Amino acid sequence: VRRPLILAIESSCDETAAAVIDGGEVLRSDVVATQVDFHARFGGVVPEIASRKHIEAICGVCDEALDVAAASLGRSRLRWRDLDAAAVTYAPGLVGALVVGVAFAKGAAWGADIPFIVVNHLEGHLYANKIGRPDFAPPAVVSLVSGGNTLLVHMADWGDYRVLGATIDDAVGEAFDKVAKALGLGYPGGPVVSKFAAEGDPDAIPFPRAMLHSGDLRFSLSGLKTAVVTYINNERAAGRELNVPDICASFTAAVVDVQVAKARTALRETGAPTFCLGGGVAANPTLRAAYEQMCAEEGVRLVMPPLASCGDNAGMIAEVALDRYRAGAFSPLSTDALAHGDL
């Protein structure tokens, strides 16, 4: 096996994840335990529940990551002291969730006497493009769209990032979740809204394309969410039956139009030859199809990570950690988890 061997942990939101990477950039394991079912009945992620579930899951998830990696390496077992570093997401995210992974990784690093490496979650999403695509390299424009983030990033090089624009209020995934909640479709909203949208008419209801002509690369989703909720309330008040597929398709079209227009502008402004996607919303089929068309029109290469690598995972954190290890960028055990953390 090529050294170093690094275990990385991710616990920034509602996924407890651990992965082992080796010096040949091979992910020897990539384990994710999702808590989504525990949050579903509340219609969104409940921070206190997330923290408690991370505590329950983290030992088992790390053990599994070590066992799967051992099997992949042809060893009977892998122990913490067989590793060269322990890495963890330290920001941004739910601080009470992050702190579980951070404390656990610190304990492992201290106990096994190996270096401790901290990784920014958003940088992890950029590195997710490497998973299954070893040929991927910057420069690129990346759209990160999840339950907590909505931003466009220019990656000039590994480690050289510029945020071109971000949401000024809600994240895209959050808007999907709130629309689903208003329609009584459960949580998370993205997958179920996508399913209904496939059967609806995207032109049925003219929902607002917020900030489409704002002249910058920022986004706003809260007005769209309010417009959809108001529409639903008005229809109900008038005693009309809701056309759920049309609402979902029209809402999705409003989101996608703005996302694609701003991504196109970002590509033209930066001249980047590659466009990438990250975050849970990257699973949306309408969005993916629209990006395929836009990239073909612009003559830009489109890189979409595997769906499992779009959502939160530790494989992407391990990819960043390997670069940090090679650069000798280790962190003191006094490093804290942070709710906010710029790229």
Residues 269-288, interacting with ligand KG4 (CB under 6 A): 279-281, 283-284
Sheet harboring 274-278: ordered strands across? Answer: 160-166, 150-157, 140-145, 274-278, 301-303
Whether the CB-CB separation of 139 and 157 falls below 8 Å is answered with: yes
* Single-letter amino acid code for the residue at 97: A
The candidate with the shortest Cα–Cα distance to 287, out of 229, 202, 211, is 202
> Is position 124 an interface residue for ligand KG4 (rule: CB under 6 A)?
no
Instruction: Quote the CA–CA distance of 76 and 147 in Å, as a whole number.
Output: 39
Residues 6+ apart with CB under 8 A from 11: 17, 54, 58, 88, 89, 93, 97, 98, 100, 101
Give whichever of 65 and 283 is closer to ligand KG4, judged by the CB atom. Answer: 283
Residues 6+ apart with CB under 8 A from 111: 80
> Is position 194 an interface residue for ligand KG4 (rule: CB under 6 A)?
yes
Q: Residues touching ligand KG4: how many (CB under 6 A)? A: 20
Q: What is the DSSP string of 167-232?
A: BSS--HHHHHHHHHHHTT--SSHHHHHHHHHTTS-TTSS----TTTTSSSS-B--HHHHHHHHHHH
Residue 147 among known ligand-binding residues: yes
> Is position 315 an interface residue for ligand KG4 (rule: CB under 6 A)?
no
CB of 5 to ligand KG4, least distance (A): 27
Buried b (16+ CB within 10 A) or exposed e, 102-131: bbbbbebbeebebbbbbbbbbbbbbbbbbb
Residue 95 among known ligand-binding residues: no
Print the binding letters for residues 83-122 with ligand KG4: x by CB under 6 A, - otherwise.
----------------------------------------
Residue 85, classified by CB atoms within 10 Å of its CB into exposed (0-12), middle (13-18) or buried (19+), is: buried
User: Of 66-74, 145-153, 214-222, 229-237, which part binds ligand KG4 (CB under 6 A)?
Assistant: 145-153
> Is position 173 an interface residue for ligand KG4 (rule: CB under 6 A)?
yes
User: Of 61-69, 146-154, 289-297, 321-329, which part binds ligand KG4 (CB under 6 A)?
Assistant: 146-154
Give whichever of 82 and 177 is closer to ligand KG4, judged by the CB atom. Answer: 177
> Is position 191 an interface residue for ligand KG4 (rule: CB under 6 A)?
yes
> Is position 138 an interface residue for ligand KG4 (rule: CB under 6 A)?
no
Residue nearest ligand KG4, Cβ-based: 190
Give whichever of 138 and 147 is closer to ligand KG4, judged by the CB atom. Answer: 147
> Is position 177 an interface residue for ligand KG4 (rule: CB under 6 A)?
yes
- Binding-site residue set: 121, 125, 144-148, 177, 190, 284, 312
Annotated binding site for substrate: 144-148, 177, 190, 284
* Residues in touch with ligand KG4 (CB under 6 A): 13-14, 146-148, 173, 176-177, 188-191, 194, 279-281, 283-284, 311-312
